[in-house]
Amino acid sequence: MDKNRWLYVTGTLLFVAFSTLAVLGFLLKFAIPHGGRFGGAPPTFLGLTRHDWADFHGMVGILFICLAVIHIVLNWKWVVQSSKRYLGDNWQKALWAVGTSWVLVLFLGYLFSRF
């Protein structure tokens, strides 16, 4: 398969994954019931509990991240060319700074979510 076809497939799957994440996020926030019933089974939405929906949301989120990485790899030449154009001679340092900062933000977010 050529690069353009991979970009098309990746872009389409990114759209589907993002749309799914958005819809599930709104459902988890506003439509899917919280808590459980006294002495009974937890409430369900379309046959799945809130935790089942949250697990599905998490799996789609991981898929989205993987697809985003593939998309960046497929477009890496454009990323480098645009970085050179907009950032000049220090484009490599700027990309490293942005990448390192983002990893640090994600890691700190993970750490703080554990407490």
Contact (CB, 8 A) for 64 and 25: no
Return the pLDDT at 39.
61
Tens-digit pLDDT profile for residues 37-63: 666 666 777 877 778 888 999 999 999
3-class DSSP state for residue 36?
Answer: coil
3-class DSSP state for residue 49?
Answer: strand
Tens-digit pLDDT profile for residues 56-109: 999 999 999 999 999 999 999 998 898 889 888 888 888 889 889 999 998 999
Task: Examine the domain organization and report whether 52 and 106 are in the same domain.
Answer: no
**Phi, psi (rounded to 5 degrees) for 45:** -135, 115
Dig out the tokens for 51 from the structure: 């935790």
Among candidate residues 55, 54, 74, the one with its CA nearest the CA of residue 14: 74
Task: Examine the domain organization and report whether 88 and 67 are in the same domain.
Answer: no
Return the pLDDT at 48.
77
Which residues form the domain of 67?
Answer: 1-74
Dig out the tokens for 69 from the structure: 């990485």
Task: Quote the number of domains for the chain.
Answer: 2
Task: Examine the domain organization and report whether 68 and 80 are in the same domain.
Answer: no
Contact (CB, 8 A) for 24 and 57: yes
Dig out the tokens for 63 from the structure: 């898929």
Task: Examine the domain organization and report whether 70 and 83 are in the same domain.
Answer: no
Predicted TM-score of the model (pTM): 0.74
